[in-house]
Structure 1
Amino acid sequence: MAIGNIYFIAGIAVIGGGLFGFDISSMSAIIGTQQYKCYFNQGPVPCQGPTSSTQGGITAAMAGGSWLAALISGYITDLFGRKKAIMVGAVIWVIGSIIVSASQNIAMLIVGRIINGFSVGICSAQVPVYITELSQPTIRGRLVGAQQWAITWGIMIMFYVSYGCSFINSSAAFRVAWALQMIPAILLFIGMIFLPESPRWLARKGRWEESLAVLVLVHGKGDPNSPWVAKEYKEIQEYCEIEAANADVTYWELLTPRYLNRTHIGVFCQIWSQLTGMNVMMYYITYVFTMAGLTGNNLLVSSSIQYVINVVMTIPALIFVDRWGRRPTLLIGAALMMTWLFANAGILATYGTPMPNGIDGTREATTKVTGAASKAVIACSYLFVASYAPTWGPVSWIYPPELYPLRVRGKAVSLATSANWAFNFALGYFVPPAFENIAWRTYIVFGVFCIAMFIHVFFMFPETAGKPLEEVTAIFEDPNGIPGIGTPAWKTRNTYSKTAREEKGEIDDFVPASKVADTTPPASEKV
């Protein structure tokens, strides 16, 4: 018997997001340790670690694998279902973690991280789709946003695990930490066994009785006569009938006039989330704080504080994002992050001392600040994380699955997520050489990106909060709107309050779900 509590379902599924978090801090916490630098050293100087370009390649390898897997996941999820796609991702993660923890050289480490990337690509694309298709509209943002919260927990937990292992005086310092990454993937696989499949995917496959059973279990809490279940089931039926004539989906279809606008919005939502500069803070925070004069344990502990901030500051988004709406959350986040990025650039440019050869063997730390300027750099870094955590962090996962109709959702979200990983790869590779070559100007680059994303969101990103998934399509296909775009983004509104009343049955204009079940399409009409 499948479990029907939607919070429990989301709690298990988002472990897939936590895998990404484990990967981030397993690298950021380890690249500064002597054990890592000595074992994977390159060049004539002992224990200096890989070169900047090689370290960028090691870090980016995971994102490279994720990019490819995110695209492939569209086919996997459409063929086998959202649930099984996530379970496949869990198995792949265990395989990758075994290879990474057993790495004998840089090449083996990169291969293992690419395989880990396959897992993250599948899970990061399909966990939001799975939760989106199972959730009620009024808590959909909260539940999908929990993926980002799981990522922040994964980052924090793995950082402290890696920090503890750093006191081991051998290669076990990083091998043990990397091996422990298998535990959440094993829990994810076992937990998914007891969860239901997406009712919308079941409907697409013509498995109507199972689809209705899942809706009754999850949304009706076992009541087959729930008005909300009746409404939702009927909307799924009607939409599947509309889409029945075009059952086959290809990625090329997402570039047709009907879908091009929402495809570009979903893709750029993920791209902008990377171009905020959060990668600078997550993967390479040790470089930033080394420039601020922190060393040894002080460096690692100070770096870990941002991970705690990330966890705590994601909570307001989980509580309020459905009431706030997507647009204001993204706009405020872009403005705040821009402020802290430009502030850090100004501090480093004004008070920093160039260090062409790096600091304490860290080649990427090319500017040194001391005194009040050092504290200001650290403070701005923390404030940046506190601005990202309740805004672009969760909403970049919440927003794309809401944009697309059922028939194309699996592949559309896969494409959007692949864009995330393509830019994650590029930035993972770019940031170490950037710190080495253009120093504080790296912050200027990301600050300009934040300005661009603010403008883009204002003019092109419509509000989807509070709307049933089948109603979001009307925004983009509004005959009275802008051709190819639909309702102008700045005219869309959050419908949380109205939908909340419908879910509670206060607006009751539905037929009972038991009667709706009688209208199940015959086998010949399966989608």
Structure 2
Amino acid sequence: MGTMEIATGENEKAKLNKYALACAIVASLINTIFGYDTGVISGANIFIKEDLKLKDTQIEVLAGTLNLCALVGSALSGRTSDMIGRRYTIVVASVIFMVGAVLMGFSPNFAILMTGRCIAGVGVGFSLMIAPVYSTEISSSSHRGALSSLPELCISIGILLGYISNFAFSKLPLKLGWRMMLGIAAIPSIGLALGILWLPESPRWLAMQGRLKDAKEVLLLVSDSKEEAESRFSDIKVAAGIDEKCNEDVVTPAKTASGAGVWKELLIRPTPTVRRIILAAWGIHFFQHLTGIEAVVLYSPRIFKKAGVMDKQKLLLATIGVGVTKAIFILVATFNLDKFGRRRLMLTSVLGVTTALTVLGFSLTMVHFSTRQLYWALCLSIISTYKYVAFFSIGLSTVTWVYTAEIFPLRLRAQGASIGVAINRAMNAAISMSFISIYEALTIGGAFFMFAGFGALAALFFYFFMPETKGKALEEIEMLFTPGGSKARHGTTEEEL
């Protein structure tokens, strides 16, 4: 298989290409809008419930609808991005978000609000797949972790902006406040839809279309040297089924990017290598939400209220702390993914999350069964919530999307990642739409003990089924999952030990 991406000397750090960074940042901004929609509903639902006279079950449905409808978007996103390209798929997601935000902002009743939330959910399905895939495909192996984690960083920034919006607009009249919280997301959606047209298309998608000249031109822009661009171009041609020595501008590749036949290779007759990739990629998405992140992000005001914080403004301020913690530690992960690797951060994350959930479950249980306010349990609940968010952010939050976008072979990447998004959103919807019912049945402390148990199971899964991909070229990663193809399959490399 051609020459892999040019490596720098053992002790020399490869430079980050500024153009590639700019492209990844702009593409990732679509996830800021999704993060905003996720964060803003946690506070907005307090005012929506009061204004529209809703029941708890309706609030559960409202919170979970975004993710349930994302299943539709994720089902369409893979094939769409294979057909029209990664760049125009981001435009489609932006337009869908804009329509959903406008409907939510002007909704006169619960039915219209739900319609807008559903439409925004479809946009979520598109954005969660396409932003990491685009960032992954324009990145060099030495900085792929950092650039591919930018979409998750943008989600956390969006969530924080949503929490701040809750606090800022909560002072407006009831009927106006929550509508402003939800509707203002339409403004950045319009700007992003226009701005994304200035980005280049993914060179890997261009190669799958047989547009070799265009692919090479993009690689020259996102690589640090002509030699690196040539090396990456050679590997991409091999992955696309094109002769490595081919110098034509336009060819007909053996493997096209239309998506034809991909479902069969993924779901009906996968090879042993693809089966291992599927288990790792889709398993990560399955376990991510079993650790309860949606319960914390969407219902943090309720958690703090159960712990003893009663004032609305204080509840929203405590929730802002969740958003700040999430943003800070995702930023930490972004700078360290290519240093410490995916596997090490993920295992550290899930062990920390499990510990924090256990402490949170204990403190909330003590509050539940106490006849008086326990100040120490209130403080412990807030600290363990922040600790949970911090540990979740350094691994489960960031590595999930980076890992899924990079381990699938080029021909299967978009649709394989889209199924991962569908699983992710299904689990997300299941937790967000059932959390109130779960904690009413088990007590809120019992619910977090349950999530801690799932965290322990997740740690076992990641330990046995997640090989390290740090520093590997995209076209090389497939070998990690090939039986006998890598000594690092069930562990880290000697360098990482």
Give TM-score, length-normalised by structure 2.
0.89
Give yes or no for the alignment of 1:317 onto 2:309: no
Give yes or no for the alignment of 1:273 onto 2:288: yes
> Would the alpha carbon gap of residues 12 and 369 (structure 1) be closer, same or farther in structure 2, given more than 3 Å must change?
farther
Instruction: Give runs of aligned pairs for residues 371-386 of structure 1, distance below 5 A.
Output: 371-386=375-390
Aligned to 1:15: 29
CA contact (8 A) 1:52 1:433 kept: no
Q: In 2, Cα distance between the equivalents of 1:251 and 1:370?
A: 55
Residues 379-432 of structure 1: CA deviation (Å, up to 9, x unaligned): 111111111111111111111011111111110000111111111111110111
Give yes or no for the alignment of 1:257 onto 2:266: no
Offset, 1:25:
1.5
Give yes or no for the alignment of 1:462 onto 2:475: no
Q: In 1, Cα distance between the equivalents of 2:367 and 2:420?
A: 40
> Would the alpha carbon gap of residues 289 and 4 (structure 1) be closer, same or farther in structure 2, given more than 3 Å must change?
closer
Q: In 1, Cα distance between the equivalents of 2:332 and 2:453?
A: 27
Offset, 1:351:
4.3
Aligned to 1:432: 436
Q: In 1, Cα distance between the equivalents of 2:480 and 2:29?
A: 32
Q: Which amino acid aligns with 1:28?
A: S
CA contact (8 A) 1:463 1:494 kept: no
Q: In 2, Cα distance between the equivalents of 1:175 and 1:494?
A: 55
CA contact (8 A) 1:337 1:450 kept: yes
Q: Which amino acid aligns with 1:325?
A: G
Q: 1:156 is matched with which residue: 143, 153, 160?
A: 160
Give yes or no for the alignment of 1:184 onto 2:185: no
Partner of 1:5: helix, strand, or coil? helix
Instruction: Between 419-428 and 104-113, report the one with greater CA deviation.
Output: 104-113
Partner of 1:284: helix, strand, or coil? helix
Residues 199-258 of structure 1: CA deviation (Å, up to 9, x unaligned): 0000000000000000011114xx6xx211111111111221279555433323213332
Q: 1:32 is matched with which residue: 46, 51, 67?
A: 46
Partner of 2:240: helix, strand, or coil? helix
Structure 2 stretches lacking a partner, 5+ long: 1-16, 244-252
Give yes or no for the alignment of 1:232 onto 2:232: yes
Q: 2:307 is matched with which residue: 292, 298, 311?
A: 292
Partner of 2:199: helix, strand, or coil? coil
Residues 80-106 of structure 1: CA deviation (Å, up to 9, x unaligned): 000000100000110011111111222
Q: In 2, Cα distance between the equivalents of 1:237 and 1:305?
A: 47
Partner of 2:309: helix, strand, or coil? coil
Q: In 2, Cα distance between the equivalents of 1:187 and 1:143?
A: 22
CA contact (8 A) 1:338 1:448 kept: yes
Instruction: Between 230-239 and 182-191, report the one with greater CA deviation.
Output: 182-191
Give yes or no for the alignment of 1:74 onto 2:88: no
Q: In 1, Cα distance between the equivalents of 2:187 and 2:142?
A: 32
Q: In 1, Cα distance between the equivalents of 2:491 and 2:41?
A: 43
CA contact (8 A) 1:204 1:240 kept: yes
Offset, 1:301:
0.7
Give yes or no for the alignment of 1:405 onto 2:409: yes
Q: Which of 1 and 2 has greater Rg? A: 1
Offset, 1:4:
7.3
Residues 18-70 of structure 1: CA deviation (Å, up to 9, x unaligned): 1221111210011223xx223221xxxxxxxx222211111111101111111
Q: In 1, Cα distance between the equivalents of 2:460 and 2:55?
A: 37
Give yes or no for the alignment of 1:6 onto 2:10: no
Q: In 2, Cα distance between the equivalents of 1:126 and 1:18?
A: 13
Residues 335-375 of structure 1: CA deviation (Å, up to 9, x unaligned): 000001111112222343379xxxxxxxxxxxx85211111
Q: In 1, Cα distance between the equivalents of 2:125 and 2:115?
A: 15
Q: In 2, Cα distance between the equivalents of 1:254 and 1:202?
A: 22
> Would the alpha carbon gap of residues 234 and 161 (structure 1) be closer, same or farther in structure 2, given more than 3 Å must change?
same
Q: In 2, Cα distance between the equivalents of 1:495 and 1:173?
A: 54
> Would the alpha carbon gap of residues 373 and 491 (structure 1) be closer, same or farther in structure 2, given more than 3 Å must change?
closer
Give yes or no for the alignment of 1:173 onto 2:173: no
CA contact (8 A) 1:29 1:300 kept: yes
CA contact (8 A) 1:4 1:217 kept: no
> Would the alpha carbon gap of residues 494 and 216 (structure 1) be closer, same or farther in structure 2, given more than 3 Å must change?
farther
Q: In 2, Cα distance between the equivalents of 1:239 and 1:332?
A: 33
Q: 1:202 is matched with which residue: 187, 202, 206?
A: 206
Aligned to 2:493: 493
Aligned residues: CA RMSD: 2.0
Aligned to 2:215: 211
CA contact (8 A) 2:44 2:181 kept: no
> Would the alpha carbon gap of residues 245 and 203 (structure 1) be closer, same or farther in structure 2, given more than 3 Å must change?
closer
Any runs of at least 4 consecutive aligned residues in structure 1 with deviations exceeding 4 A, and if so which? 242-247
Q: In 2, Cα distance between the equivalents of 1:372 and 1:17?
A: 37
Q: In 2, Cα distance between the equivalents of 1:308 and 1:467?
A: 32
CA contact (8 A) 1:69 1:117 kept: yes
Structure 1 stretches lacking a partner, 5+ long: 42-49, 356-367, 497-527
Q: In 1, Cα distance between the equivalents of 2:386 and 2:255?
A: 49
Q: In 2, Cα distance between the equivalents of 1:15 and 1:138?
A: 22
> Would the alpha carbon gap of residues 246 and 202 (structure 1) be closer, same or farther in structure 2, given more than 3 Å must change?
closer
Offset, 1:134:
0.3
Q: In 1, Cα distance between the equivalents of 2:319 and 2:481?
A: 43
Aligned to 1:365: none
CA contact (8 A) 2:264 2:270 kept: no
Offset, 1:72:
0.6
Q: In 2, Cα distance between the equivalents of 1:445 and 1:15?
A: 34
Instruction: Between 266-275 and 457-466, report the one with greater CA deviation.
Output: 266-275
Q: Which amino acid aligns with 1:476?
A: F
> Would the alpha carbon gap of residues 234 and 369 (structure 1) be closer, same or farther in structure 2, given more than 3 Å must change?
farther
Instruction: Between 235-244 and 160-169, report the one with greater CA deviation.
Output: 235-244
CA contact (8 A) 1:4 1:196 kept: no
> Would the alpha carbon gap of residues 280 and 186 (structure 1) be closer, same or farther in structure 2, given more than 3 Å must change?
same
Offset, 1:316:
1.4
CA contact (8 A) 1:249 1:408 kept: no
Q: In 2, Cα distance between the equivalents of 1:495 and 1:10?
A: 29
> Would the alpha carbon gap of residues 148 and 309 (structure 1) be closer, same or farther in structure 2, given more than 3 Å must change?
same
Q: In 2, Cα distance between the equivalents of 1:194 and 1:434?
A: 47
Instruction: Between 444-453 and 235-244, report the one with greater CA deviation.
Output: 235-244
Q: In 2, Cα distance between the equivalents of 1:245 and 1:238?
A: 10
Aligned to 1:387: 391
CA contact (8 A) 1:467 1:495 kept: no
Q: In 2, Cα distance between the equivalents of 1:239 and 1:413?
A: 17
Aligned to 1:193: 197
CA contact (8 A) 2:100 2:117 kept: yes
Q: 2:455 is matched with which residue: 437, 440, 450?
A: 450
Give yes or no for the alignment of 1:63 onto 2:78: no
Q: In 2, Cα distance between the equivalents of 1:170 and 1:307?
A: 24
Aligned to 1:44: none
Residues 285-314 of structure 1: CA deviation (Å, up to 9, x unaligned): 011000111122111111111111111111
CA contact (8 A) 1:249 1:407 kept: no
Offset, 1:8:
1.0
